[in-house]
Amino acid sequence: MDPSLIAMQLFSGIALGAILVMAALGLSIIFGMLGVVNFSHGAMFMVGAYAGLWVASLTSSFWWGLLVAPITIGAFGMAVEFFLIRPLYGRSVDDPLLLTFGLGYVLVEAVRIVFGSDGIPFPTPSQLRGVVNLGIGYFPIYRLFVIGVVGVILLALWLLLEKTKFGLIVRAGARDPQIMRVLGVDIGRIWLVVFGLGVGLTALGGVLAAPMRTVNPEMGSLVLAEAFVVTVIGGMGSLVGSVVAGLVVGIAVSMTALVAPEMAQIVMFALMALVLLIRPQGMFGKSGVNA
């Protein structure tokens, strides 16, 4: 097999993995901090893609869509946390799960009513069209852009969580919210921001993925499954696990598509089953942490 073809397929896997990382990060952040399994996660990804498409069509600029959509959908996520999920804290873990499951269906049907059921293409911005020679072959510029953006987001997120006072409060609140309340921290406000951040990251993933996938109301269903697979493999609530698992799954799917295309969508579930058999808490998860 041609080494350059293998190398290009590997790059394609990294680009796919970058999108999976964005999808799984939001899910992992929300679970890790709030203990909420957000089943509307895929729908938020889809709504982010539509919001980016709508803003881009209004402004004739992909860049405005990339900027405005995550902020807007992140703010919507904060409203969801405040008005819908917050009243369920302290109750059974099934209550927010069922609520977000229903919310996902509501969002999908709302998008169908507004935009219709047919897929809508999201044009790649003119500045990012074409291919570039990497020395081992030609690779789409847009996919390199996606890898770069996700890398910058991961660096910014790491700096936020590890090098700021807000990050210290978030990490401490995830371990023991009661102690944080005793210390006078408004943990409810922190939860609000974290939920909005998780949803905003998911929406950003939707906008980044849109030029590589047709934007349609059902696109979130597969993304939800992929995000849960990545989160389970990496370890529930582990941000490092989400990053590593996202890249591993993306590369596994891409390389499988090269040799056995019919198995490409199955390999991620097989990988999840293998990890759960060997290490039930996931690669970077802590024992006893589960959904």
Q: What is the pLDDT of residues 45-68, one digit of tens each?
A: 999 999 999 999 999 999 999 999
pTM over 0.85: yes
Is the Cβ–Cβ distance between 24 and 246 less than 8 Å? Answer: yes
Predicted confidence at residue 37, as pLDDT, reads 87
pLDDT in 10s for each residue of the chain, 291 residues:
677 788 888 888 999 999 999 989 989 888 888 888 899 999 999 999 999 999 999 999 999 999 999 999 999 999 999 999 999 988 888 899 999 999 999 999 999 999 999 999 999 999 999 999 887 778 899 999 999 999 999 999 999 988 898 888 887 777 777 787 887 888 888 889 999 999 999 999 999 999 998 899 999 998 999 999 999 999 987 889 999 999 999 999 999 998 888 888 899 999 999 999 999 889 988 765 544
**Residue 149: which residues within 8 A CB-CB, separation 6 or more?**
18, 208
Tell me the per-residue pLDDT of 124-155, one tens digit each, with 9 for 90 and over. Answer: 999 999 999 887 778 899 999 999 999 999 99
Predicted confidence at residue 93, as pLDDT, reads 80
Report the distance separating Cα 276 and Cα 282, nearest Å. 6
Report the distance separating Cα 212 and Cα 194, nearest Å. 28
Give the phi and the psi of residue 140 in degrees, each rounded to 5: -60, 135
Is the Cβ–Cβ distance between 227 and 42 less than 8 Å? Answer: yes
At residue 132, what is the residue type? V
Tokens coding 2: 């041609």
What is the CB neighbour count within 10 angstroms for residue 115? 16
CA angle, corner 161, sides to 11 and 22, nearest 5? 30
DSSP letter string over 16-74?
A: HHHHHHHHHHHHHHHHHHH----TTHHHHHHHHHHHHHHHHHHHT-HHHHHHHHHHHHH
Predicted confidence at residue 238, as pLDDT, reads 85
DSSP state of 217: T
| Structural domain spans, the chain | 21-219
Q: Using CB atoms within 10 A of its CB, is residue 189 exposed (0-12), middle (13-18) or buried (19+)?
A: exposed
